[in-house]
Amino acid sequence: MDELRDLYQATILDHNRKPRNFRVLEGADLHADGHNPLCGDQLTVYLELEGERVKDVAFQGTGCAISVASASLMTDFVQGKSLDEVESKFEDFHEMVTSEPDSPVQTPDIGKLAVFSGVREFPMRVKCATLAWHTLRAALQQDGSTAKTE
Amino acid sequence: MSGRAELDVAAIRKDFPILEREIRGKPLVYLDSAASAQKPRAVLEAIQNFYANAYANIHRGVYQLSAEATALYESGRDRVQGFIGAADRREIVFVRNATEAINLVARTFGETQFKSGDEILITALEHHANIVPWQMLGGRRGTKLKVVPVDDRGELDLQAYEALLGERTKLVALTHVSNAIGTILPLKKMIALAKAKGIPVLVDGAQAAPHTRVDVQDLGCDFYAFSGHKLFGPSGIGVLYGRLPLLQAMPPFLGGGDMIETVSFEKTTYAEPPNRFEAGTPDIAGVVGLEAAIDYVEGVGIDAIEAWEQSLLAKADAALTEIDGLRIIGRARDKAAVLSFVLEGIHAHDVGTALDQAGVAVRVGHHCAQPLMTRFGVPATVRASFSLYNTPAEIDVLVAALRETRELFG
């Protein structure tokens, strides 16, 4: 069960049980729905901006522990960050969860999000970990489309 | 359904090379045969031997090799005819899988027989393969889909079924066994009710053919579809059974070689069934493999297989019921060896990943039966399905892994 505990680290289990920022953001400037058709995960991400910066962010939805915890930790992480920073952190995060299992883990300054490093051992679960981020990006692009991981 | 079936599972397991595999350092416990069954050595060898010694295209060459390949392909048709009790070998059409078989009927029979306002009656238990082709047909022809509901056990509401069999019903399309929750439909009775009103019946037998005796004449259905890969045969070969007068009246499905009688640029006349529906070079080796798979199943004995699987189902049902927070979805009294369940507070995909760590392969998700999941108010379930090569000890592994999963997510 060791690999399993690497995947489901205590922080992930905690955020799955008690997701942070789990609410509808009244007066959100932007929002988008995300859907992972393989798993049936369904998220809505809400954003309030102040200029080029995230003023507030929240989410609602259902999904597996990885997708819920990822959304929860992401919303904590991007609070107050500039939109450029959000984009570049998504790239770092994506890089971490899709890197080769045997390569050294790269977690360049993504704070608690490093708990998702175990996901790369489980390629079937990468989409769960990135759904919230894809949805956040869709909200920022605000083209009215539903973010999909397929 | 207690007692030991006459099936030597240790000997059977030796027939399936893949069962020697380890997954993440643990022996593979394969509980996903409802998605696709593993292949016995006899099937693998039949295909290998065919390609190595008797391969050529069929129905064309005058040379000996082509004649041999044609004979093998056509003997596969005879074998399938006997296996499902069809009256005539021309009633057996080879397709890719059950999905293609149903689409074939929708595109030919449906396209020419149905008009706007006609109803196609299906059940709440259907796999998407027996929903979507009829919806697509509705988009083209204006036909309507009617759905027979299920009760909380996952059994069909037969009164509703009778009430829905109406003037406008032009086809009843039923699953034989639910892939998602295992319910076995009282098919013979349901078919008789439809036939009494002159309504043709198509049966999706993908989940039934590997586990129970199928006799299409006894059932009285007009079409019966199944896939080779769930029957321990190769992937890519499936069967459509259709009553001969219906097949003879149906237009072709795909156009091309082998389905014609004569072709000129002005007019083409079509071959008789089954060739009319088998355009192009078919999956010849697939038919050879399917024949070997049927030989294998009949060698073990379909009744022995059914009894063994029922004993596994009874054990698994009892053991899983003991696990705190585990809810079994679908408690039909007549049920195939499929157990669909949810663990309270733990998403099915997390359960699937945790079980995989213990070497246990199960299906998680909506099982291509989203309307049924909606009916039971769950987005997804974990599904363990049992086959002739599974053992009681594997159920113990499943149960232990589920307990560990509960502990982890606690």
Q: Taking CA atoms, what residue in B is nearest to A36?
A: B365
- CATH 3.40.640.10 in chain B is located at 44-298
Q: Which of A38, A42, A65 comes nearest B350 by C-beta? A: A65
Give residue limits of the domains in chain A: 2-148
* pLDDT score for B404: 94
CA–CA separation, A17 and A69 (whole Å): 8
A125: chain B residues, CB-CB within 8 Å: 349, 353
Q: Could you say which of B339, B368, B373, B380 is catalytic?
A: B368
Confidence of residue A147 (pLDDT cuts 50, 70, 90): low
Contact A64 B366 (CB under 8 A): no
Q: Which of A5, A13, A128 comes nearest B349 by C-beta? A: A128
CA–CA separation, B314 and B327 (whole Å): 16
Q: Which of A3, A5, A64 comes nearest B349 by C-beta? A: A64
DSSP percent split of chain A into helix, strand, coil, nearest 5: 50, 20, 30
CB atoms within 10 A of CB A18: 10
Q: Taking CA atoms, what residue in B is nearest to A18?
A: B345
Q: Which of A3, A13, A39 comes nearest B380 by C-beta? A: A39
B409/chain A closest Cα distance in angstroms = 7
Confidence of residue A1 (pLDDT cuts 50, 70, 90): low
Contact A3 B357 (CB under 8 A): yes
Token pair for B284: 């010849």
CA–CA separation, B242 and B259 (whole Å): 17
Q: Count residue pairs from A and B with Cβ separation < 8 A.
A: 44
Could you list the beta-strand ranges (E) of A28-135. 30-36, 41-50, 53-62
Q: Taking CA atoms, what residue in A is nearest to B401?
A: A1
Respond yes or no: is residue B368 known to be catalytic: yes
A7: chain B residues, CB-CB within 8 Å: 353
pLDDT for residue A107 is more than 70: no
Confidence of residue A145 (pLDDT cuts 50, 70, 90): low
B322-352 as b/e, with b when 16 or more CB fall inside 10 Å?
A: eeeebebbbbbeebbbbbbbbbeebbbbbbb
Q: Taking CA atoms, what residue in A is nearest to B26?
A: A1
A139/chain B closest Cα distance in angstroms = 24
Architecture of domain A2-148: Alpha-Beta Complex (3.90)
Q: What is the ipTM of this complex?
A: 0.87
Contact A64 B404 (CB under 8 A): no
Taking only the tens place, the pLDDT of each residue in A118-129 is 899 888 899 999
Per-residue pLDDT of chain B (410 residues; tens, 9 = 90+): 444 447 999 999 999 999 999 998 999 999 999 999 999 999 999 999 999 999 999 987 889 999 999 999 999 999 999 999 999 999 999 999 999 999 999 999 999 999 999 999 999 999 999 999 999 999 999 999 999 999 999 999 999 999 999 999 999 999 999 999 999 999 999 999 999 999 999 999 999 999 999 999 999 999 999 999 999 999 999 999 999 999 999 999 999 988 888 888 888 899 999 999 999 999 999 999 999 999 999 999 999 999 999 999 999 999 999 999 999 999 999 999 999 999 999 999 999 999 999 999 999 988 888 899 889 998 889 999 999 999 999 999 999 999 999 999 97
B222/chain A closest Cα distance in angstroms = 34
The H or E element spanning position B329 is: strand B326-329
A15/chain B closest Cα distance in angstroms = 12
- CATH 3.90.1150.10 in chain B is located at 9-37+301-409
Contact B380 A8 (CB under 8 A): no
Pairing of strands B201-204, B26-27: unpaired
Q: Which of B347, B357, B408 comes nearest A63 by C-beta? A: B347
Helix A65-78 and helix B348-357, axial crossing angle in degrees, nearest 10 = 110
Architecture of domain B44-298: 3-Layer(aba) Sandwich (3.40)
CA–CA separation, B269 and B256 (whole Å): 12
Those residues with Cβ within 8 angstroms of residue B177's Cβ, 6 or more apart along the chain or in another chain: B183, B184, B185, B205, B207, B208, B211, B212, B336, B338
Confidence of residue A41 (pLDDT cuts 50, 70, 90): confident
B379/chain A closest Cα distance in angstroms = 7
Q: Look up the CATH number of domain B9-37+301-409.
A: 3.90.1150.10
Contact B349 A5 (CB under 8 A): no
B353: chain A residues, CB-CB within 8 Å: 4, 7, 122, 124-125
* pLDDT score for B6: 79
